[in-house]
Amino acid sequence: MEIAITLGLLVFAIVLFITEKLSVDVVTLILLVALISTGVLSPSEAFSSFGNEFLIILASIFIVTKAIEESGVLDQLSARISQTAPARITGLMVWVFPFTSFLSAFMNNTTVTALLIPPVMSLSKKSSIPASKILMPLAFASIVGGTCTLIGTSTNVAVGAYLSKNNVITLGMFDFTLIGLILAAITFVYMMTIGRWLTPERKEQDLSEYYNVREYMSEIKIKEDSPLIGQHATESDLNKLGFTVISVIRNKRKLYYLEERVFAKDDIVLVNGNIKDLLTVREKNGIDIVADTLQDDSAETRGQKLFEVVIPANSKLKGSSVKSVGFRQRYGMVVVAISRSGETITQKIGAVTLQVGDLLVVQASPDNFKDFHDNHNLIVLDEHTQNPHRLRKGYITIGLFILAVILSSFELVTLSVAFLVVAILTVVLKIVDADKVYDSIDWRLLILIGGMSAFGIAMVNSGADTFLASFIVDVCQPLGPRGVLIGFMLLTVLLTQPMSNAAAALVVLPIALQSANLFNVNPVTFAMAIMLSASVSLATPFEPSCIMVYGPGKYKFFDFVKVGGPLTLILMIVIYFGVQIYWPLALK
């Protein structure tokens, strides 16, 4: 009975992960409550994984990364990149790819990608190279670079924690670095040759034409009998009808602080909305449609331009509607279109819920972005600016981080203690504000890892791991352990498409370990193959780093299938043979 309950809950959780009806942390907690309620897990077993030192390591890394971001060191680094002399695509790839992979070996790959998108786009523009030719390699470099160290990805940390807790093996910081370097090198060579040929070339276009926003921007004049006269510019009948007031011109002067302004006779109002709807309501509202405001002599002369901004993974705006954010009041910009997974949204934008990787086309004055480097809610895909403050403390943080890596590598200090001390010092030295520490930690990821690790215990307690492993061994007996190993690797890659990499690895891991035991082969071989396979899924744009470059690179879904599909297959072949060289399948 417990086997049926456990497997049923597993299917239930996977379905919820795929549909995304609930966030992953909520699904995980529901799973734990269900396992406790049915007696598969005791409360102490369900929550034991949340006290694992690997979660302390992961939380500490989040804090240290935030401290480095806050210091301005990364901004300075990015500014230097954007100021590099123009180069050919080969020259760009030669230093962008290794540099990205190196950073990703010690930092979250999504953070690295978000950091490098603006300067790399600036440099590609300077070098007359389409951004699409360089952004996909950038994302791939950040993903594969994470396979080089234990802290390179949350998947590595999660698998390491599970293996240590179940006394399979305790992984060191650089135990699989050589395999990771080989994977990174092969990815680099592939993207310089086959991948370079397959990667699409999407040339830069005028933003208003590319996103088809021209027909949604209109200039109106308020007539003397208009009921709009006396209404607040941000709370008028126009707003209630779904239009957004971008600016008001009165007596040839632009009015600021629109929240405090009311419409008057002869005001020229720039609005964002469907032109067909505007034609319908113009008589009722006493307005004349004057002109299309995206002509070359209009938006520019009023100091307004179209910009592209991206929602990064750590943005506090994700999950909020465009209307609730209040872009005009908060940032001085108006959202005129949203590009998501290659689809452009131009109607009812206010009701759209923002997601990671959304590319927003906004209209604003360039002056609004002068001091935008401290904002981590949006990434501006335009000229990159440098943040010069607090650099000294940033370099101190990096020095402490390197020291922690060295001390823990030589086992002079445990990994958890080393990184926790660095995290504490960033607060003590006021490199990162104490109030921001908890905001910097991805609690959903920690809950996911802790909960799915506990689910592994449930698989063992209920016997579900043995049941599934026995079934797999019976069915795949003719293939032998190597055939089963390949099957688990493929299953892991497939599950990473709808699920997070860490969750996919933790779902497959208990079954794979038990299968290895039934075959009487080395379980570490299976574990490492699954861990690395979960980190090289490049065939679709569902990986966070790929989502980040999807909009800026003007990619289509099939672009990733075409370029990343063959590369994923090549990397899996390397992993299959590599792990067996490092951790032989046969037990001694």
pLDDT digits (tens, 9 = 90+) for 45-85: 888 888 788 888 888 988 888 887 777 676 666 666 656 65
Considering the domain architecture, whether residues 363 and 417 belong to the same structural domain is answered as no
Considering the domain architecture, whether residues 567 and 456 belong to the same structural domain is answered as yes
Q: Helix, strand or coil for residue 235? A: coil
| Cα–Cα distance measured from residue 455 to residue 450, given in angstroms and rounded to the nearest whole number | 9
Considering the domain architecture, whether residues 548 and 403 belong to the same structural domain is answered as yes
| Cα–Cα distance measured from residue 45 to residue 32, given in angstroms and rounded to the nearest whole number | 10
Task: Tell me what pLDDT residue 110 has.
Answer: 84
Tokens for 63? 């804090």
Task: Kindly report the number of other CB atoms within 10 A of residue 417's CB atom.
Answer: 16
Question: Are 117 and 135 a contacting pair, CB within 8 Å?
Answer: yes
The residue assigned the tokens 């370990």 is 513
- State how many domains the chain has: 3
Considering the domain architecture, whether residues 43 and 94 belong to the same structural domain is answered as yes
Considering the domain architecture, whether residues 263 and 148 belong to the same structural domain is answered as no
The region of weakest confidence among 121-135, 178-192, 215-229 is 215-229
| Cα–Cα distance measured from residue 392 to residue 73, given in angstroms and rounded to the nearest whole number | 8
Cα angle: 100, vertex 163, 448; to 5 degrees: 65
| Cα–Cα distance measured from residue 4 to residue 357, given in angstroms and rounded to the nearest whole number | 38
Q: Which amino acid is at 479?
A: L
Q: Is the pLDDT of residue 133 over 60?
A: yes
Task: Tell me what pLDDT residue 246 has.
Answer: 76
pLDDT confidence band for 187 (50 / 70 / 90): very high
Mean pLDDT computed over 316-336: 80
| Cα–Cα distance measured from residue 138 to residue 147, given in angstroms and rounded to the nearest whole number | 15
Considering the domain architecture, whether residues 236 and 372 belong to the same structural domain is answered as no
Task: Tell me what pLDDT residue 367 has.
Answer: 72
Domain-located, residue 353:
yes
Q: Residue 359: which domain range?
A: 306-380
Considering the domain architecture, whether residues 167 and 104 belong to the same structural domain is answered as yes
Task: Tell me what pLDDT residue 296 has.
Answer: 39
Q: Helix, strand or coil for residue 490? A: helix
Which residues are bridge partners to 343 per DSSP?
Answer: 340
Digit-coded pLDDT (tens) for 144-184: 999 999 999 989 998 998 898 888 898 989 999 999 999 99
Highest mean pLDDT among 114-118, 285-289, 305-309, 559-563: 559-563
Q: Is the pLDDT of residue 391 over 50?
A: yes
Tokens for 415? 């990994």
Domain-located, residue 40:
yes
Nearest Cα to Cα of residue 120 among 148, 146, 91: 91
Domain-located, residue 356:
yes
Considering the domain architecture, whether residues 328 and 372 belong to the same structural domain is answered as yes
Domain-located, residue 138:
yes
Q: Helix, strand or coil for residue 86? A: coil
Considering the domain architecture, whether residues 123 and 171 belong to the same structural domain is answered as yes
Task: Kindly report the number of other CB atoms within 10 A of residue 582's CB atom.
Answer: 14
For residue 182, give Cα distances in angstroms to 191, 263, 332, 573, 574. 14, 65, 47, 12, 8
Report the CATH number at residue 327: 3.30.70.1450
Task: Tell me what pLDDT residue 115 has.
Answer: 80
Digit-coded pLDDT (tens) for 451-502: 888 888 898 888 888 888 888 878 777 888 999 999 999 989 988 887 888 8
The region of weakest confidence among 212-221, 389-398, 402-411, 570-579 is 212-221
Which helix H or strand E contains 32, and what residues bound it?
Answer: helix 24-37
Task: Tell me what pLDDT residue 563 has.
Answer: 95
Q: Name every residue whose Cβ is closer than 8 Å to that of residue 520 and which is 6 or more positions away in sequence.
A: 587
Considering the domain architecture, whether residues 41 and 151 belong to the same structural domain is answered as yes
| Cα–Cα distance measured from residue 53 to residue 50, given in angstroms and rounded to the nearest whole number | 9
Task: Tell me what pLDDT residue 530 has.
Answer: 95
Domain-located, residue 391:
no
pTM above 0.75, yes or no: yes
The last residue of a domain, from among 259, 292, 325 = 292
Considering the domain architecture, whether residues 422 and 527 belong to the same structural domain is answered as yes
Query: What percent of the chain is modeled with pLDDT above 70?
Result: 86
Domain-located, residue 287:
yes
| Cα–Cα distance measured from residue 84 to residue 401, given in angstroms and rounded to the nearest whole number | 27
Digit-coded pLDDT (tens) for 431-448: 888 777 888 888 888 898
Considering the domain architecture, whether residues 411 and 558 belong to the same structural domain is answered as yes
Digit-coded pLDDT (tens) for 275-317: 666 667 766 677 777 644 434 334 443 556 778 888 887 788 8
The last residue of a domain, from among 231, 260, 292 = 292
For residue 528, give Cα distances in angstroms to 63, 101, 524. 27, 20, 6
Query: What average pLDDT is seen over the chain?
Result: 82
| HEC readout, 313-367 | CCCCCCCCEHHHHCHHHHHCEEEEEEEECCEEECCCHHHCECCCCCEEEEEECHH
